[in-house]
Structure 1
């Protein structure tokens, strides 16, 4: 995702991973060199399966200034990642 967007990990505010387990989140964050940008919040609520990323996003509301990477993974080696970029604030 970063290479496709011509970005480095330093240019991203947060890296939100599926909260399957603390071990997985910490291991991936270490490999990405994004430990300070990759929170783990599921220790109190457990693995909430497909809702882990939306739950974490709701807890981090207002903390993203520019961009965020989301990455989910699951059964059968399936995975998906995306980069969300905040363009500006709109008042509707």
Structure 2
């Protein structure tokens, strides 16, 4: 599990730098017209933030007692939903 957390963290750092759009599923297969509708750097940063949240969530699940699993699941889902809702509107160009 620690290896997964480290890999997620490395990918998150790479994506948060604004590069790595080829790692985003579906984005690299879009046509140039479709890609032009999105701000690539912001999309990479959002994906990186979500990947970092997933890494932190995996680390939290690894080091949490078994009886608190449901609480950590709810906590993780709330974090991911909040980050997505706050940042998603900035990605699509107007």
TM over 0.5: no
Determine which structure has the larger helix proportion and give its number. 2
TM-score normalized with structure 2 length: 0.28
Structure with greater strand percent: 1
**Structure 1-normalised TM-score?**
0.28
